[in-house]
Amino acid sequence: MPRVISITDGTINLKVMIKKAPNQNEWKNLWISGHLNEIWGGTITPIEIDDGSWDEKKNLAFATNDLPDAFMTAGALEFGDLINYGSQGLLIPLNGLIDDHAPNIKKRLADDPNLKKSVTAPDGNIYALPSLTYDKRSNVVGREKPWINSEWLNNLQLDMPTTLDEFYTVLKAFKEQDPNGNGIADEIPVSGSNDNPFKMMVLSALGFVDTTYSTDESGEQVIFVPAQPEYKEYLTFMRMLYKEGLIDSQYFSQNFQAYRAKTEKQLVGFFFDDAAFVAVGADNYKHYEALLPLTSSLNTKQVWPHRNNPSATPNNMAITSVNKSPEATIRLFDYLYSDEGGFLTRMGPDVGVVQSDGGVKRFDDGTWQLTSPEGQSTVDYRFNKVTNLSLPFVMGGPDMPLEKQSEEQANLTENLLKLVELGKPVFPSLFFSPEEQQSMSQINTDLMSYVTQMEAKFIVGDNELSEWDEYLASLEKIGLKKTLELTQTAYERWKNS
């Protein structure tokens, strides 16, 4: 068992707001709840919020001042939240607390000037901290991991597609040629949901690695991707797929669980997900491979969204104004930034601590391997028994022992490193001044709502692409020019900082 270092004297209750994924077990049933209570020296009380309700519940907490002591979860806050609530005093600056009480955090920020730049607001304050991953495969952004059923390709004697046109041909064959061989037209060529759209497969073939703000080829001028001519080509291609029944008819309406129910039944030929094994199960993931970036008549270079190393998932840990023990709380955050704390929070304890056939197995050469009960993936095992996988963490630093990856994890690494090799940096997350943020928020909310609405309407055919000029005019009317000016200013400030 890991050593226990009590931060408090046992009298302080810490209320933390955390996300709960659809397949995530409750906090009280997880090993991590007891472990962090021991580290804290008292009780950590979670306010568990379903993923899909996070923004609503978070905004309500700030609006009513019914705040937790801390936020401690992946993607807890937007950059706009830090500016708005930091300037109002609802989020407290962490700079002094880090200097005085958090040696692990202080060292990681000092070792990486770019990291410190990315977490420092224009007023010089740090209001939130990211999770950090030093593993190269984490350079692949979010759920933008494309999986294609290679068994279906083999059954139909098809090559892996390399262009948009070939991708279309493959999807059409998946629909029409019974690749699973059951004599029933039950195959879904492409599926997804709002939580895992596959749009980057098409946008990257047209040369983009961002879906909203980006830069032109010079890297100097900020652009808005949904207003570019190539975006119209994206809509045209997606409209063709939808019209021909190659995209799941419920793509725009189903939730993530409904999508996963289809992949688990082996009905989907292509999808985006964290890993093939979490989508189709530990017994079937070898039938899937990462589809490498495609090219098109408009773009002959393979590109894929790429984050810097260490990859930082921003704004995961923050302390609010109602917290009576900020010094102790930053020490808890600092534990998560330690090699031990980051590892245990993410991976859990050794084999036998939670379950006799699951946990971390350690080897004489100093390496380790995460194991799970037969028939269960290591991710599902952790979801069910060990930890909340939205918790902040630091993994893969130079002083941490090397992982001897399980077969499924080694397969994932092999596939994702192929994408990393073709990576192009994504547009950075930017801070705006309070005045800029106020203008940006007012316009950008309406702008993005309109873009999302029209994307679906163009693709399903509620609006015709002959209305593209009217769509562009509406973007301008909402305030696109102003948001581009504000983003350009923030981008130049970021580059020069």
Q: Quote the CA–CA distance of 272 and 275 in Å, as a whole number.
A: 8
Of 91, 138, 100, the residue nearest 119 (C-alpha)? 91
366 torsion bin: left (phi>0), alpha (psi -120 to 50), beta (else): left
The whole-number pLDDT of residue 3 equals 52
- Residues contacting residue 333 through CB under 8 Å, at least 6 positions apart: 72, 102, 105, 129, 317, 392
Give the tens place of pLDDT for each residue, 195-251: 889 999 999 999 999 999 999 999 999 999 999 999 999 999 999 999 999 999 999
C-alpha 12 chain-centroid distance = 32
Q: Return the bridge partners of 44, or none.
A: 14
CA–CA separation, 238 and 235 (whole Å): 5
Average pLDDT over residues 1-11: 72
Split at pLDDT 50, 70, 90, the class of 1 is: very low
Average pLDDT of the segment spanning 358-380: 91
- pLDDT digit string, tens, across residues 293-320: 999 999 999 999 987 656 678 899 999 9
Contact 391, 271 (CB under 8 A): no
Written as one string, the DSSP assignment of 77-100 is S-HHHHHHHHHTTSB---HHHHHH
For residue 176, with 0-12 CB atoms within 10 Å meaning exposed, 13-18 middle and 19 or more buried, which class applies?
Answer: middle
Place of tokens 């098809």: 158
The pLDDT of residue 495 is: 87
Q: Look up residue 251 and give its two tokens.
A: 């793509």
Cα–Cα dist 95/101, whole Å: 10
Angle at 173 between CA 170 and CA 177, to 5 degrees: 155
Q: Which residue has the higher pLDDT, 127 or 396?
A: 127
Q: Which of 149, 416, 188 is nearest to 292 (CA)?
A: 416
Distance in angstroms (rounded) separating the CA atoms of residues 129 and 119: 7
The tokens for 268 are 């989907």
In this predicted model, what pLDDT tens digit does every residue of 162-205 receive, in sequence order? 999 999 999 999 999 999 999 999 999 999 998 889 999 999 99
Helix (H, G, I), strand (E, B) or coil at 209: coil
Q: Phi and psi dihedrals of 44, rounded to 5?
A: -100, 115
- Which residues, 6 or more positions from 414, have their beta carbon under 8 angstroms from its beta carbon? none
Provide φ and ψ at 203, rounded to 5°.
-60, -40
Across all residues in the chain, what is the average pLDDT? Answer: 93
Identify the pLDDT of residue 199: 96
Which residues does residue 359 pair with via DSSP β-bridges, in sequence order?
Answer: 371
* Contact by Cβ (8 Å): 330, 94: yes
CB atoms within 10 A of CB 58: 21
User: Which pLDDT does position 163 carry in this prediction?
Assistant: 98
Q: What is the pLDDT of residues 256-302, one digit of tens each?
A: 999 999 999 999 999 999 899 999 998 999 999 999 999 999 999 99
Q: What pLDDT is attached to residue 309?
A: 56
The tokens of 167 are what?
Answer: 């991708």
Q: Which residues contact 332 (CB under 8 A, 6 or more apart)?
A: 7, 14, 36, 39, 40
Residues 346-351: contacts with CB within 8 Å, 24+ apart?
A: 346/387, 346/389, 346/391, 346/393, 346/395, 347/382, 347/386, 347/387, 348/31, 348/32, 348/382, 348/385, 348/386, 348/387, 349/1, 349/2, 349/31, 349/35, 349/386
Q: State residue 2's pLDDT score.
A: 47
Measured CA angle at 450 (ends 444, 452), to 5 deg:
100
